[in-house]
Amino acid sequence: SAVISQKPSRDICQRGTSLTIQCQVDSQVTMMFWYRQQPGQSLTLIATANQGSEATYESGFVIDKFPISRPNLTFSTLTVSNMSPEDSSIYLCSAGGGWGGYGYTFGSGTRLTVV
Amino acid sequence: GIQVEQSPPDLILQEGANSTLRCNFSDSVNNLQWFHQNPWGQLINLFYIPSGTKQNGRLSATTVATERYSLLYISSSQTTDSGVYFCAVDLDSGNTPLVFGKGTRLSVIA
């Protein structure tokens, strides 16, 4: 299965600023997925990123707040814009499902605290 | 959309005890995975198990796809087993995102 390198692993940011999270996959994948995990909650899908087209956002998430780039088949970024304390969460990227028996893999997560 | 329900939501075990976690899903799925999220937030893939039974050390999992449920067994639990266990399913391998249950929070006490 693929390995995803995600960075930063954690950050503490001031409200009103933006943070860009990067995910690098060690093999080409068609779809990448971005999730948010608020404290004590399960994972919620933010958007699906397909190379060469605009990301598809889930209800409650908008491109102005969470712009996503997918410049090639191995890389994606998620930006959390104009942050507020409510954005404090773990953000995870994911890919996979097409490797014949290994399922989906996840980056190690970005723990974001907004103060 | 598909619904994924996990039970119990919380579980406290004495070290050495055994436990069974359950995952029910509302529709046919292409894939089912069990994850363990450690205290640092990392999701560790335990099993990829769309059907059948698999074992890995003290952990084993069984999925009965026709009855739409999966079970995760933890035997001889250790404090390092503590964390949240998630069940997740997908409908179209690689092209659709995993849908997660709400998780089972396991605390193993010495």
More confident residue, A102 or B26: B26
Residue A10 lies in a domain: no
Q: Is the pLDDT of residue A98 over 70?
A: no
What is the domain extent for residue B98?
Answer: 4-109
Kindly list the averaged pLDDT for each block of 10 residues, start to end, along chain B of length 110: 96 97 94 92 92 97 97 97 96 83 97
Residue A4 lies in a domain: no
- Residue A86 tokens, joined: 């409510």
Q: What is the pLDDT of residue A30?
A: 87
Residue A103 lies in a domain: no
pLDDT band at A96 (very low <50, low <70, confident <90, very high): confident
Total tally of structural domains belonging to chain B: 1
Kindly determine whether residue B95 and residue A33, on different chains, have CB atoms separated by under 8 Å.
no
| Distinct helix (H) and strand (E) counts, chain B | 0, 11
Kindly determine whether residue A104 and residue B90, on different chains, have CB atoms separated by under 8 Å.
yes
Total tally of structural domains belonging to chain A: 1
Residue A78 lies in a domain: yes
Residue A39 lies in a domain: yes
3-state secondary structure B30-76: CEEEEEEECCCCCEEEEEECCCEEEEECCEEEEEEHHHCEEEEEECC
Q: What is the pLDDT of residue A100?
A: 57
Q: What is the pLDDT of residue A101?
A: 62
Its sign, for the CA torsion A83, A38, A55, A106, is positive
Kindly determine whether residue B42 and residue A111, on different chains, have CB atoms separated by under 8 Å.
no
Q: Which helix or strand (DSSP H or E) is residue B74 part of?
A: strand B69-74
Q: What is the pLDDT of residue B60?
A: 98
Neighbour tally for B3: CB within 10 Å: 11
User: What is the tens place of the pLDDT at every residue in A12-63?
Assistant: 999 999 999 999 999 998 899 999 999 999 999 999 999 888 899 999 999 9
Of A69-78, A81-90, B65-74, B94-103, the least confident: B94-103
- Residue B7 tokens, joined: 């039970």
Q: What is the CATH number of the domain that holds B71?
A: 2.60.40.10
Q: What is the pLDDT of residue A14?
A: 98
Residue A73 lies in a domain: yes
Q: What is the pLDDT of residue B41?
A: 87
Mean pLDDT of A80-91: 98
How far apart, in Å, are the Cα atoms of B29 and each of A101, B25, B73, B96?
Answer: 14, 8, 21, 11
Residue A49 lies in a domain: yes
DSSP A41: S
What is the domain extent for residue A52?
Answer: 26-97
A8 three-state secondary structure: coil
Residue A37 lies in a domain: yes
Residue in B98, B44, B95 with CA at minimum distance from that of residue B72: B44
Q: What is the pLDDT of residue B90?
A: 87
A16 touches chain B (CB under 8 A): no
Q: What is the CATH number of the domain that holds A41?
A: 2.60.40.10
CA-based nearest distance B12→chain A, Å: 17
Q: What is the pLDDT of residue A16?
A: 98
